[in-house]
Structure 1
Amino acid sequence: MSFGPRIKELRTAKRMTLDQLAAATGSSKSYVWELENKNPPRPSAEKLSAIAAALGVTVDYLLGSDSQSLGDAQDQAFFREYSGLHPDTKRQLREIAKTLGGKRPT
């Protein structure tokens, strides 16, 4: 899947509108539409990073230049965000993960 359709698929899966993704990335609605629909898109590295963060994936996943799965991309994005958290928040998340780790989904 190419860059534009990948952004659109992730955006719609998160139930985000073009306006919402544009606001989250400091872009205009028309710019996000162009990224999703024009070929080839030419976003800056800064915009790529902002879009990846807003969609909860890595830039590599957006670009399709990596063989990583969506789950792996989401995990990496989560761990990057986690690393910048306050130590107390990290502790709380570790406790939650430990509690949830003992439970199996039904």
Structure 2
Amino acid sequence: MSLGTRIKELRTQKRLKQSELAEIVGLNSYVQIGRYEIGKAKPAADMLSKLAKALDTTTDYLVNDDVNDASVAAQLTDRELLRQFKEVELFSPEDKHLVKTFIDAFITKRHIQEYVK
């Protein structure tokens, strides 16, 4: 997957228009976001960093062709959990926050239980 495809995919997952992403990263026009997405232009390092931050990802994910589901799957062996995480990625920001809160609460509970033992 190309840099442009990743930018577009993450932007649409966050339900952002090109103009909204352009505003977040400090561009005067959405046209440049379109150029990035279709591969007509490559963002400079500082812009790449801003895009990664705005899209809640890393610059490494945006630029590396070898980062894919297989590398995630290699780290996350529970396929059902991987499928669930992919589903959650499509949720609204509010729903994602709620899911993260539940997970965080469960992890905290487990840590307390282990500490008490």
TM-score norm. by structure 2 comes to 0.57
Counterpart position of 1:54: 54
RMSD, matched Cα? 2.6
Distance in 1 of aligned mates of 2:68 and 2:58: 9
Quick check: 2:3–2:39 contact (8 Å CA) kept in 1? no
Quick check: 1:60–1:66 contact (8 Å CA) kept in 2? no
Secondary structure of 2:49's aligned partner = helix
Displacement, 1:64?
1.8
Distance in 1 of aligned mates of 2:68 and 2:9: 16
The correspondence of residues 58-97 of structure 1 with structure 2, limited to 5 A, is 58-65=58-65, 67=67, 97=104
Displacement, 1:51?
0.2
Unaligned runs of 5+ in 2: 76-102, 111-117
TM-score norm. by structure 1 comes to 0.62
Counterpart position of 1:29: 30
Quick check: 2:18–2:34 contact (8 Å CA) kept in 1? yes
Secondary structure of 1:11's aligned partner = helix
Q: How many residues align?
A: 78
Distance in 1 of aligned mates of 2:4 and 2:56: 16
Distance in 2 of aligned mates of 1:65 and 1:11: 18
Q: Percent identity?
A: 38
Secondary structure of 2:16's aligned partner = coil
Displacement, 1:67?
3.3
Deviations 1:58-106, CA, capped at 9 Å, x for gaps = 001000255366979xxxxxxxxxxxxxxxxxxxxxxx93x24249xxx
